[in-house]
C-alpha cells in the first residue's frame, strides 16, 4: 500500500531564506505526486504535480519539486521565502485504478521577518 | 467561476442529531471525494465517488454516509454524530483522470457536543 511521509510537522525559516519541505513516498511503481498548500481558513490549492514528463517540476509562487526515484522523494523547495508563504503544505501520492490520493500529515511553514 | 461549494461553513450540533453537509461543484467533474482533517493526522478520505450512483469507502468511512444522485452534488450524511466526528471536513472534485488536480471546497468545521 502506498504511504506518504513528510519529515517535520513544523518548519520555520527567515524571510529570504531557502525553503525545503521533505516528502517521501513508498510505492513499487512511481505514482502521481502532488504538493498542495493550505492557507489559514481555506481549502487546499494545487502547487504542482509530477506526472513523469519531467523530474523537475515548477509550480506556482516560485516553488518547485524534484522527483528522485532512487530516493523515493519529492521534496519541495523555494529559493527565497516570503512572508506570504506561511501556510501548511501537503504532499500527496496517487495512481491506483480509482486515483485516490494518499496525503502526508502536512508541514506547517512559518516565515520569520 | 469554477468552484466547489460546501455548506455550512461552521456547524455545532449535539450527539445523535442527524446532519447533512452539502457539496456542489460546477465543473461537470466525474470524481468527488470527502476528507476529514485532524491535527497531526493530515487529510483522510471518508468516501469517494467515481460518477453518478457510484460510491465507495475511503480510509475512515465509519459513521458516515454519502449519495451521488446527480453529478454536481455529493452530500455527506452523519446519521448519529458522535464527539469523535468533530473535525474539519473538505469536499473535493476533479475530472476523471487520476493525475488531474483536485479542487477543494472551503471546508466545514463541525463540532459535536
> Whose grid coordinates read 457536543?
B113
Euclidean distance between CA atoms B9 and B11, whole angstroms: 7
Contact yes or no for A96/A38 (Cβ under 8 A): no
- What pLDDT digit, counting tens, does each position of A66-78 carry? 999 889 999 999 9
- Residues in chain B closer than 8 A to A94 (CB atoms): 98-99
The answer to whether the CB atoms of A43 and B44 lie below 8 A apart is no
The answer to whether the CB atoms of A98 and B50 lie below 8 A apart is yes
Q: Where are the beta strands (DSSP E) in chain A?
A: 3-7, 10-14, 19-26, 32-38, 44-50, 56-58, 64-68, 73-78, 87-94, 102-103, 107-112
- What pLDDT digit, counting tens, does each position of B57-89 carry? 999 999 999 999 999 999 999 999 999 999 999
Contact yes or no for B73/B85 (Cβ under 8 A): no
Contact yes or no for A10/A110 (Cβ under 8 A): yes
**Mean pLDDT of the residues in chain A:** 91
Res. A58: pLDDT tops 90: yes
- Model confidence band, residue B96 (pLDDT cutoffs 50, 70, 90): confident
Which pLDDT score, from 0 to 100, does residue B78 have? 97
- Residues in chain A closer than 8 A to B107 (CB atoms): 41-43
Contact yes or no for A34/B101 (Cβ under 8 A): yes
The answer to whether the CB atoms of B41 and A105 lie below 8 A apart is yes
- Residues in chain A closer than 8 A to B104 (CB atoms): 43-45
The answer to whether the CB atoms of B33 and A43 lie below 8 A apart is no
Which pLDDT score, from 0 to 100, does residue A57 have? 94
Distance set, CA A12 to CA A8, A61, B46 (Å): 10, 18, 31
Amino acid at each position: 500500500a502506498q504511504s506518504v511521509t513528510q519529515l517535520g510537522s513544523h518548519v520555520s525559516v527567515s524571510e529570504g531564506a531557502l525553503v525545503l519541505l521533505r516528502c517521501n513516498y513508498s510505492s513499487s511503481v512511481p505514482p502521481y505526486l502532488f504538493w498542495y498548500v493550505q492557507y489559514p481558513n481555506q481549502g487546499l490549492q494545487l502547487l504542482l504535480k509530477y506526472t513523469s514528463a519531467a523530474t523537475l517540476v515548477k509550480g506556482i509562487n516560485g516553488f518547485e519539486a524534484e522527483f528522485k526515484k532512487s530516493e523515493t522523494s519529492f521534496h519541495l523547495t523555494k529559493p527565497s521565502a516570503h512572508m506570504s508563504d506561511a501556510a501548511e503544505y501537503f504532499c500527496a501520492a496517487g495512481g491506483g485504478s480509482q486515483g485516490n490520493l494518499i496525503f502526508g500529515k502536512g508541514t506547517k511553514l512559518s516565515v520569520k521577518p | 467561476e469554477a468552484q466547489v461549494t460546501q455548506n455550512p461553513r461552521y456547524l455545532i450540533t449535539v450527539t445523535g442529531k442527524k446532519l447533512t453537509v452539502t457539496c456542489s461543484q460546477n465543473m461537470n467533474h466525474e470524481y468527488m471525494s470527502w476528507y476529514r482533517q485532524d491535527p497531526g493526522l493530515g487529510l483522510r478520505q471518508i468516501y469517494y465517488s467515481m460518477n453518478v450512483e457510484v460510491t465507495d469507502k475511503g480510509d475512515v468511512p465509519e459513521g458516515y454516509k454519502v449519495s451521488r444522485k446527480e453529478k454536481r452534488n455529493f452530500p455527506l450524511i452523519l446519521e448519529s454524530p458522535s464527539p469523535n466526528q468533530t473535525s474539519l471536513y473538505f469536499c473535493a472534485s476533479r475530472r476523471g483522470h487520476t493525475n488531474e488536480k483536485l479542487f477543494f471546497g472551503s471546508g466545514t468545521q463541525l463540532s459535536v457536543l
